[in-house]
Amino acid sequence: MLVVIMVIFILAALVLAASSYVQNKGARARAETEIAALSAALESYKADNGIYPRDAAKTDSVNPAASPVPATASQFLYEQLSGDTNDDRTPEAKSYFAFRPNMLLPAPPSTGNITAIRDPFGNPYGYSTAKAAGAAFGNNPTYDLWSTANDTAGNTTKWIKNW
């Protein structure tokens, strides 16, 4: 009887470990897809405006390695791509990306003002235009877009990113 209980316990542990791996893999795949879609929206924005969304205080100074979860830059990106300039979930200007409710912070069922674009791991997406502003840090000459993939300690090798 004890052997049967131990076998059941071991099988349950294996199933839980495998399900955690599958959930993480699914979240990574979704983040990769969302980064590609956000990048396409940024290209549409640039086609209309001649420049990627930039702000000296909110995006030009963001160093991905030093501040991996910059909520202010993520909120600025939301405002520019959604056309919702006052973060009340109602667009006032042209929209370049239709955000699903589960992509926004605070997440549903909250209807409060938007504070950031949420990645599948629950953290804000990172957005930086530091290299375009002439900073010594940054990775792409245009913009950096990333998800920390639940590793907010600054270990960029585990991140999902456009560089």
Q: Which domain holds residue 40?
A: 2-161
Whole-prediction pTM = 0.84
- What pLDDT is recorded for position 29? 95
pLDDT of res. 137: 76
- pLDDT digits 0-9 by tens, 47-96: 999 999 999 889 888 888 777 778 899 999 999 999 999 999 999 999 99
Give the list of residues 6+ apart from residue 20 with CB closer than 8 angstroms, or none: none
pLDDT at 131: 84
User: What pLDDT score does 146 carry?
Assistant: 93
| Averaged confidence pLDDT in the chain | 89
Q: Which of 104, 60, 99, 55 lies closest to 81, judged by CA?
A: 99
